[in-house]
Structure 1
Amino acid sequence: MMIQKENMIIRSVTNIALDTIEMVLENTYISKTAIPGQFLHAAIEGHTLRRPISIADIDQEKETITILFKILGKGTEKLATYQPGMTFDALGPSGNGFQVDNTRATYLLIGGGIGVPPLYYLGKTLAEKKCNIVSILGFQTEENVFYEERFQALGKTFIVTNDGSYGETGFVTDIIEKAGHFDSYFSCGPVPMLKAITSKLPTKPGLISLEERMGCGVGACMACVIPSADGKGYQKICSDGPVFHAQEVSL
């Protein structure tokens, strides 16, 4: 599939957790071609650089794409002010997503903060393939928690908060043992979390999705590189990733 510059029509904007916005967009091409783990590279008025935002859900019949983002700076602060009926352009679907070959397997989804959204679309896709799904979702506090019921509809779900204000206390790695047996895992979140997970599961097959600021978003500017695990070069997160095999890159 090709990355295209597309016009995104905003259908709804909802504040679903602390500084966390869910935005439902309408676009035919991206709704028909995007796979779990890909992202939109969104243009925001008044800002030179686009912002990469993971795709959280797709409805091919309604031709809608759901994105979630956290208000972290002036760009996302501006995007959060957009209203239904407004439009913005985005490059997409961008990046390499999650590839799922086995059906009827048991998969562990491990998400941290704004790394949770792309795992929801992945979880829905796995459920359609009759896979068993267990999810561990980590947040800072109870105010940051979102999509708990949606993940529960897919399978057993653990919520972890750093301060213990909701669910389990600690980090996602603290309760992996509670997930029981799983054949492989998928994870998305900040690099320290991914590093802890891959260290804890060194022999378990897994795919990880990296969050990173980007420049061009198409692999030309080398602004979002990460060292390859073999020490022989670098991988571009925007085009080679954001999804990599767990032992493919050096975190």
Structure 2
Amino acid sequence: MERLLLLEGTMAIDPQTLTLPLVITAGLIDGFNPCAFAVLLLFITFTMGMLQFRTNYRYGLMKVGLIYISGIFVTYVLIGIGFLSAISFFSTTHAVGKAAGFISIVLGLILMKDYFIPGRPLLAIPGSMHASINNWIKRTTVPGVFGAGVLVGLCTVPCSGGIYLAVIGLLSLQSTLVQGILYLLLYNLMLIIPLVAVLLASSNRKVVDKMVAWQSGNKATIRLLMGSFMVAMGFVILEII
């Protein structure tokens, strides 16, 4: 596999050494994206109300929660594989990688805007999809809960898609398709760690209420941090192409 090196004076930048830490960091940050995080808390609150009088309450909550998170995981993996496969098939230059870098920067700046200019977020789950997601969640069946996860996975792309796109652009520059897919799996495992952590803590109603309050009160700050990371990722990709 060809190593891509950029020389600046006597400094050599090897993107190979950046891949693993960037994939891990980006995945963890994406796990805190306001769309998936907010819907998970909504899902937990609703499920707690449905199951609170059952003897197997905690088991039921963990079960449906993991099914929901699995729906997000599978959807994100398939989206990533689709984009990476398309880039690997059609791209013979670094044009797609550069485009991914620029798009990541633009989306990051839009997210940061929500911190400095409060208002309706431009990058959010479409309002028309809220009812559909809620309907899937209320079914509390395996297909229904998994379907809710799939919908959230699709609809959260506008929230944090810049991070994912930047990572895919990075992988397309230096990895074979198989290596890229393995990195995508790692990315998405990192992505669900915060969601699983929230789920594990959700057996305590007071903890859930505190998380809901924290998430509601820090939406703008979360968007600022995620947007800043998107911009940084975009510049990293443009630097190594």
- TM-score bin, normalised by smaller chain: under 0.3
Structure number with higher relative contact order (C-alpha < 8 Å, ≥ 6 residues apart): 2
Computing the radius of gyration over CA atoms, which structure comes out larger, 1 or 2?
2
Higher strand proportion:
1
Higher helix proportion:
2
